Structure 1
Amino acid sequence: MLVERYRPILYLQYFLLLVDLILNSFIEMLRFENVILLVLFVIQDLCIIIAVIVVFLLFFNTYMFQAGLVNILINKFRLAIGVTFVYFGLNVGLHVWEMTLRWDEPNAYIWETPGFIALYVIQRTGAVLYYYFYKRTALKLGDPRFYQDSEWIHKEFERRR
């Protein structure tokens, strides 16, 4: 029952990752107009924000959260949450810098700025980490153990005390 209820949410999370992946891969081809590029950057950033909101809504639905064991839940997903926020910051930084470089001339060659190239490479590397950790988190949150009282939760609570 729980798995069937969780399936549409998982598909939504996969869709948000796919949109981010497609935009990361092909956004350079659509740079002929500043407004289009800006709208695509905003869509990409909104997808990340929506993805974070979905994960936190799933957190709120877990038995652990409702039982007041939030610290166990946060500790279990700390790395994924951190990677997501770092990736979002890298994304926004790259988008702002790229729009600054391209605003007057959308088809300008901007790949001669060493700092921009470094940020681009770091952001793309962060994207791979984000995809991995977000997908792993989405799949883990589909586990029925998080949504019911179990011996596993009691062991985690005792271990963390």
Structure 2
Amino acid sequence: MKLSTPRYTFCLFFQLIFMLCDLLFNCVSLFPRSRDGLLVLFIFQDLFLVLSITTMLMTFFSTYLFQAGLVEVLARKFRAAGAVCAAYVLASVALHAAWLLDKWAEPESVSTPLLICLFTLQRCLSPWYYFFYKRAALRVSDPRFYEDIDWINQQLQAH
């Protein structure tokens, strides 16, 4: 697999930066004691998640498959990545909302079972998110998604 254009290299660079930022925010979110610190961290983490998903969608939209209206082939190839990314984003937002509601009600409170469950779910999904997101970002760089008509015809006949 090779990178097809300098623009794609630029997108891939930012996708990896956004993923690294998410990993850093996951690590750092354990340390702030203040509600305001948590709020700022979670806003930035969610912002970087939205930016990473937006960047991935931009790379999908720039493929020949998408532009030719063959979205079902693209969706079939990246179904797992899409499902894992959606699950991770939902788990992250749910964790952040529950954590902030818990801390806003009582700053010195001990974690509730719901918060522990959401925290565990989000942290267990994170390696899967990093793996599938990076894999999708690298797979979409395949030049066949941009120009190979014979390969596209084979994909349409396979389904």
Using structure 1 for the length normalisation, give the TM-score: 0.91
Deviation, structure 1 residue 141: 1.1
SS of 1:142's equivalent?
Answer: coil
Deviation, structure 1 residue 116: 1.6
Number of corresponding residues: 157
Q: Is residue 2:93 matched to residue 1:92?
A: yes
Of 16, 19, 26 in structure 2, the residue corresponding to residue 17 of structure 1 is 19
Q: Which stretches in structure 1 are left out of the alignment for 5+ residues?
A: none
Structure 1 residues 9-158: aligned runs within 5 Å = 9-29=11-31, 31-106=32-107, 108-111=108-111, 113-158=112-157
Q: Which stretches in structure 2 are left out of the alignment for 5+ residues?
A: none
User: Do the aligned residues in 2 keep the contact of 1:19 with 1:44 (CA within 8 Å)?
Assistant: yes
Q: Structure 1 residues 115 and 32, CA, compared in 2 at 3 Å: closer, same or farther?
A: closer
Aligned mates of 1:110, 1:16 — CA distance in 2? 31
**What is residue 2 of structure 1 aligned with on the other side?**
4
Q: For residue 43 of structure 1, what is the amino acid of its counterpart?
A: F
Q: For residue 97 of structure 1, what is the amino acid of its counterpart?
A: A
Deviation, structure 1 residue 133: 0.4
Q: For residue 157 of structure 1, what is the amino acid of its counterpart?
A: L
Using structure 2 for the length normalisation, give the TM-score: 0.92
Post-superposition, which runs of at least 4 consecutive aligned residues in structure 1 deviate over 4 A? none
Over the residues paired in the alignment, what is the CA RMSD in angstroms?
1.5
Give the percent of matched residue pairs that are identical in Structure 1 and Structure 2: 39
User: Do the aligned residues in 2 keep the contact of 1:102 with 1:110 (CA within 8 Å)?
Assistant: no
Aligned mates of 1:115, 1:2 — CA distance in 2? 45
